[in-house]
Amino acid sequence: MKFKSIAFVAARQQHAQDALKAMKERYDNVPPSKADVIVVLGGDGFMLRSLHKYLHLGVPIFGMNRGSVGFMMNAFKEAGLLRRLSRAEAIHIHPLRMVATDIQNKKHEALAFNEVSLLRYRRLAAKLRVIVDGKVRLEEMICDGALVSTPSGSTAYNLSAHGPIIPMGSDILALTPISAYRPRQWRGALLPSQAHVTFEVIDPKQRTVNAVADDLAVRNVKRVEVVEDRSIAPVLLFDPEHNMEERILREQFMV
């Protein structure tokens, strides 16, 4: 791939801002609206925000890590960017679409590239009814919450909640409980990517639950519907030797 115009964007942290200054001094820079590719300097959180912010442009994104973990990022190097971009491998990712209904019957819609999570808001455990494709699969789960994760997000919150790592391109979603008390032995489920998942909050006024799509939170929900939106497919670019498939595979062998 060849890109004629590059836009550089960076997180607010000084580490990222220093990198932004260095890249602008070395390469021509255009606004994102006029770019063929956007180079994101920061960590995974800033990458997620950039995906949401620039989704409407339909421009590939190449991340360079100036944060902490940097799972969705490439290594930061000032030199050789044009060659790296020309050799980069493209990954298409599909977000989850969340429709959350709060206790006032107001609907909130959002996209999530990593996961949609439900979390109890106060001291009482959440009670959730889990419905998949219109069929009740769990009549009542007593827990801190639950989440639905994409493959690209499976190594994030999903992994820390002891959910499975999902290879890219597998057309699978992870449904993972968060600190489930009942049923105690249930560890979650792998679902086809086209599955429609619905969470119903039992006694939502007393057992308050918040829903989060990436970094957008909705308070006091009573019903949350989650489905993968295949019509949206932003492109992430990775160095061939450090692509996302390799990272996800490598993560499964880390001890």
Tens digits of residue pLDDT in 155-188:
889 999 999 989 877 899 999 999 999 998 899 9
pLDDT tens digit string along 92-109?
999 999 999 999 999 999
DSSP conformation class of 242: G
Output the pLDDT for position 82: 95
Catalytic residue numbers?
Answer: 44
Q: State pTM to two decimals.
A: 0.88
Q: So what's the architecture of 6-93+233-251 in CATH? A: 3-Layer(aba) Sandwich (3.40)
Q: Which amino acid is at 64?
A: M
- Residue 145 · residue 152 · CB < 8 Å: no
- Residue 62 · residue 38 · CB < 8 Å: yes
pLDDT tens digit string along 28-64?
999 999 999 999 999 999 999 999 999 999 999 999 9
DSSP conformation class of 241: G
Compute the distance between CA of residue 184 and CA of residue 205 in angstroms, rounded to an integer: 24
Does the pLDDT value for residue 255 go beyond 70?
Answer: no
Q: How would residue 241 be classed by pLDDT, with cut points 50, 70 and 90?
A: confident
Domain map (residue ranges) of the chain: 6-93+233-251, 96-228
Q: Residue 125: which region, alpha, beta or left (left: phi > 0; alpha: psi -120 to 50)?
A: beta
pLDDT tens digit string along 179-216?
999 998 899 999 999 999 999 999 999 999 999 999 89
Output the pLDDT for position 243: 66
Provide the terminal-to-terminal Cα distance of the chain, rounded to the nearest Å.
Answer: 36
Question: Facing residues of 210 across strands?
Answer: 119
Torsion angle (degrees, nearest 10) of CA 167, 170, 172, 176: -10
The domain made up of 96-228 has a fold known as Tumour Suppressor Smad4 (2.60.200)
Output the pLDDT for position 20: 97
